[in-house]
Amino acid sequence: MIRTQTLRVFVTVADFGNIRDAAKSLGRTDSAVSMTLKQIEATLGAPLFESDRKHTLSALGVEVRKLARDLLREHDRTIERIHALAEGREGILRVAAVPSVAAQLLPEVLSAMLDEHPGIRIELMDTDSASIQALVETGEVEVGIGGRPAGTSGLQFVALFDDPFRLVCRKDHPLARHGRPLAREDVQPHRLISNNSTAGYSSFEGSDPERGSVLSARNVISLLALVRAGAGATILPALATRAIDEDLCALVLDDRSARRTVGFVLRQGYTPSPICRAFQDRIVAIVQATSIIVPLSHQ
């Protein structure tokens, strides 16, 4: 078998036209280079040079140099890509995040990553927490950012921040005139539009079917359009209310449990790629620097 390093020695000698200069370039002794050439010629069963002075290639040597150059070029390119992947300069990062995080936190993070690592590619999916957990579990995405999975899910959760819920309604809605945090009794008489953002939280859902969540929407854009049309109010995480229209308002709820904990969702025992670790570090930094985000009340 002819090794890659053996071919590199041959090509270097062929390019310099003598052993002495080639050996100096390779950082090897003249005798070591000469021995390598003898080995490759013995393996091939034919000479690569016309004479011992090594300044003229044989017909076989000309063809071998062409092929060896192509192989070495591809080899070096592959090794460079391997190092780039290991250092996070190349690779694909697949992320799934809840819509509020995808819209409010990730644009700045992903833009900075692409500027710093132009060789990477990023695929972002925005969806609800249950779907995020399924995508992480099946390996379709490397990391998710969403709500806490169930304890039996087999997923790892790294908490980032608490996101309090807000009631979103039109500014001419009766609830907008209360001027204080809304209690359950304030909200119950009014129609609420349910959504997946508040899955597992129902303290403010009305028990009367005529007043409760007879209307639901998965997409935040559709949800807010329904609120603007007067179909009802809704409850959303505070992060999702940062960019609501001027004709809507986000009202504080008088309930300490009215919040979700957002964090990284990862496969149990999974070692993140270098580019994923860099992504996580940036998310942690931006969470610490964003004033609207509520510090964790618990880990």
pLDDT of residue 247: 93
The reported pTM is 0.69
pLDDT tens across the length of the chain (299 residues): 889 999 999 999 999 999 999 999 999 999 999 999 999 999 999 999 988 778 899 999 999 999 999 999 888 888 877 877 777 777 889 999 999 999 999 999 999 989 988 888 999 999 989 999 999 999 999 999 999 988 767 899 999 999 999 999 999 999 999 889 999 999 989 999 988 777 666 666 554 444 445 788 888 889 999 999 999 999 999 999 988 889 999 999 999 888 889 999 999 888 888 889 999 999 999 888 875 555 555 44
Query: For the domain bounded by 88-299, which CATH number is listed?
Result: 3.40.190.290
pLDDT of residue 111: 93
Q: How far apart are CA 137 and CA 140, in angstroms?
A: 8
* CATH 3.40.190.290 location in the chain: 88-299
Query: For the domain bounded by 4-86, which CATH number is listed?
Result: 1.10.10.10
pLDDT of residue 241: 92
* CATH 1.10.10.10 location in the chain: 4-86
Token reading at 241: 């209310």
Which residues contact residue 292 at a Cβ distance below 8 angstroms, ignoring those fewer than 6 apart? Answer: 238, 239, 242
SS (H, E, C) the chain: CCCHHHHHHHHHHHHHCCHHHHHHHHCCCHHHHHHHHHHHHHHHCCCCECCCCCCCECHHHHHHHHHHHHHHHHHHHHHHHHHHHHCCCEEEEEEEECHHHHHHCHHHHHHHHHHHCCEEEEEEEECCHHHHHHHHHCCCCCEEEEECCCCCCCEEEEEEEEEEEEEEEECCCHHHHCCCCECHHHHCCCCEEECHHHCCCCCCCCCCCCCCCCEECCCHHHHHHHHHCCCCEEEEEHHHHCCCCCCEEEEEECCCCCEEEEEEEEECCCCCCHHHHHHHHHHHHHHHHCCCCECCCCC
